[in-house]
């Protein structure tokens, strides 16, 4: 079925919008073979991400099953997840050794 957003790997805690989604909409999110419904809290532009679980401040943000950054504040489910609440981990000494 057609969905409004996609989760790349099932462990991911963010989805990517496949169309502009309006506040208050219940978005359908494709997660592999299953579909989850998420109430959207703010406008999500096409190609942008939103939380599909409550993400707490300091928690890793996962896409592609990998860490793409860290939450700088709580990101409740359905909320826009972008540069205002995610920071890059690039350049952190404990992550550039490649052995963790």
Partner 1 sequence: MGFKGYRRPDGRVGTRNDVGILSTVVCANEVADAISSQVRGTACFMHQQGCCQTPVDIRRVNDTLSGLGRNPNLAAVLLVSLGCESTAVEEVARRIGDTGKRVETVVIQETGGAARSIAEGVLAAQGMVQEASRWERVSCGIDELVLGLKCGSSDTTSGLAPNPALGIASDRVVEGGGTSILGEVTEFIGAEHLLARHAENPKIGQQILDLVKRMEERAKSVGADIRGGQPTGGNIKGGLTTIEEKSLGAIAKAGTAPVRAVYEYGVAPSVKGLVVMDSPGREPEILTGLAAAGCNVIAFTTGRGAPQGFPFVPVVKITGNRRTWEKLRDHMDLDVSAVMEGAETLPEAGHRIFQEILEVASGKLTKAEISGYTKAMDIYMVGPVI
Span 19-58, contacts to partner 1 by CB under 8 A? 28, 30, 32-33, 45-49
How many residues in total does the chain contain? 100
**Number of Cβ atoms within 10 Å of the Cβ of 26:** 11
Interface residue with partner 1 among 22, 66, 73, 76 (CB under 8 A) is 66
77 alpha-carbon distance from chain centroid: 9
Nearer to partner 1, 70 or 77 (CB): 70
Are 62 and 72 in contact by the 8 Å Cβ rule? The answer is no
Nearer to partner 1, 53 or 98 (CB): 98
49 forms beta bridges with 16, 81
Q: Which residues bind partner 1 (CB under 8 A)?
A: 1-6, 8, 16-18, 28, 30, 32-33, 45-49, 61, 63-64, 66-69, 81-83, 86-90, 95-100
């Amino acid at each position: 079925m057609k969905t409004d957003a996609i989760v790349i790997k099932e462990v991911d805690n963010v989805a990517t919008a496949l169309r502009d989604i309006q506040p208050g909409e219940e978005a359908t999110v494709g997660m592999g073979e299953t579909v989850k419904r998420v109430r959207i809290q703010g406008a999500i532009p096409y190609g942008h991400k939103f939380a599909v679980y409550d993400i707490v401040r300091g928690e890793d943000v996962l896409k592609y099953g990998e860490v793409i950054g860290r939450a700088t504040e709580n990101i409740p489910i359905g909320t826009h997840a972008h540069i205002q609440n995610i920071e890059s981990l690039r350049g952190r000494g404990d992550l550039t050794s490649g052995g963790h």
